[in-house]
A and B are shown apart, each in its own frame.
Chain A
Amino acid sequence: MGLIQKSSSNQELRHYRGNIPVGNLYTAGIAGDRFFVDLRDKGRLLGTRCPSCERTFVPARHFCEECFTRLEEYVPVPSSGTVHSLTAAHVDLDGKPLDPPHVLAFITFEGCAGGLVHRLGGAPGQSFRIGDRVEMVLKDRKKRTGGINDIEHFRPAKGSRR
């Protein structure tokens, strides 16, 4: 089989199977560890404040990538925020329909730099728009493991306009 011969299926060529046999074990890091332990145990979002540019990053991070300062001031930030952008996935990776659609948003928090990507949820059929105020819904304390899924989703904030 040469380059000038067309083959629509590479399975017709003699083939040899293989893979790269590795898995991974990650750490959340110095700041990430504090962020997730605080989320699990106290049910709040932790940020870190940069004394140089005076920004507060959420989730907490160990350094400011602009000022290149080590961040050591950890502060809780409000757990309600604003939908900065969102999307609704209608099919999964294999092309299977997702019903209801999977709604994912980038949520920012007032006075903070950064933000969280997370699911949006609420009553069935609830629709969301950019600019909506949303609040964090946590899993029960006993079900929290110290990961991003300790947050069930964000839902419309109480008393918000919609």
Chain B
Amino acid sequence: MGMRRVAVIGAGMTRFVRRAKETPKELSFEATRMALDSCEMTRDDIDCVVHGTAPDAFDGVHMKAEYLCDGSGGVGKPYTRNYVGGGTGVFAPIQGWYHIASGMFDTCLVVCEEKMSSCQPHPQGAFLTIFDHTTERALGPNLLWIFALEMNRYMQTHGITLEEIAAVSVQNKGNALDHPCAQLGKKTTVKEVLESEVLAWPVHREMVSPTSDGAVALVLASEEVARRATPKPVWIDGVGWTLDTAYWCTRDLYYPRYVETAARMAYDMAGITEPDRQIDIAEPYDPFAYKMLHHMEGLMLCGKGQAPKLVADGVTARHGRLPCCPSGGLLGVGNPIAAAGLMKIAELFWQLRGEAGKRQVPGTPRKGVAQAWGDLMQVGTVVVMGA
């Protein structure tokens, strides 16, 4: 395609917490400073800045990317914000990627921040208006309800049990115990998950990620700069993104076809023809427990309806054949929307460099895939990375 190779050469993140004292700008600064320090760069070494952040209503600052620009190192630089709902955190590095792949820039800071605790009484309030204002809103739906519809349809189609879905919460919250930035790491059981409050059947409280404050930053570089900067660049091998119809009632909810479309785009670019064999490590988006399974299938890491078996068999465990969410995912590390997606890319970066500490998957993983999702269950964003 005549595009240049792009590598991730540095990463940083704040702790994910329920309510941070730091302002959104300060959160962005801490993550960005850490990412620059990790590759011994200064702001002078940065050609452009990409900021990913979800609705302005969360931080309570209209045009918040402009407000955040100081904290993400963007002053006086070519600076853009991107926002594709929940998919933002994995789209931000894609935007950084094309800035560099195009040949226009050699280095790019990619920063994602969210401070959801500013939003009262609950960030769900901001989501109430994503539904159609005449056909749906009068019925009072919220995001939990529509995910409950999707989860139920997925379970019904394949005969999946609540226990199989609860096992995802157990795995990811357990993995998060080893993440120094995690909000909700804990040792739990399927029984405990199923004994938690039912929010909207079949969604139980312990199957849902929390609201969080936090920021994550990456440094992206062209091949030439990357090879000078580090002996261990992690390459962005493939990128894909897609948006499905907002007439969500015209889709069968059992399968995330928008994830498959985005994944095919990314795999084609990365030369991946058999994802279930060629991908060593995955970070599918898991704001809800069933979503990790749903997205594993959309990413074609297994057949439709097969993901629960992989979890049950330990295949997706950190020491399994195909570790999924070794970070602890959104269920365990937390879910500051855009930052949570970028956390998944940072996790692949650390894992593929062998720098994930207690979270390190065994062997020498070579290929990873991360994915995020959002809006009215309609956006898919996918990045394939290689050591």
Contact = CB atoms under 8 A, between A and B. Distances in A.
Given A18-B133, A33-B21, A68 B138 contact: no
Interface in A54-100: 62-63, 65-68, 70
A interface, size bucket: 20 to 34
A65 B60 contact: no
B75 interface: yes
Contacts of B23: 26-30, 32, 62
B43 A68 contact: yes
B70 interface: yes
B26 A21 contact: no
Nearest to B74: A65
B60 A27 contact: no
Nearest to B75: A65
Contacts of B129: 18, 20
Contact of B22 (A16, A18, A20, A29): A29
Nearest to A62: B26
Interface in B69-116: 70-71, 73, 75
B26 A63 contact: yes
B134 interface: yes
B155 interface: no
Interface string A19-45: 011111111111111000000000000
Contacts of B75: 65-66
B33 A70 contact: yes
A33 B26 CA distance: 12
B32 interface: yes
B57 interface: yes
B371 interface: no
Interface of B: 20-23, 25-26, 29, 32-33, 36, 42-43, 57, 60, 70-71, 73, 75, 117-121, 123, 125-126, 128-129, 133-134, 137-138
- CB-CB nearest 10 A-B residue pairs: A24-B60, A29-B23, A65-B70, A22-B125, A68-B43, A21-B125, A63-B29, A23-B120, A62-B26, A65-B75
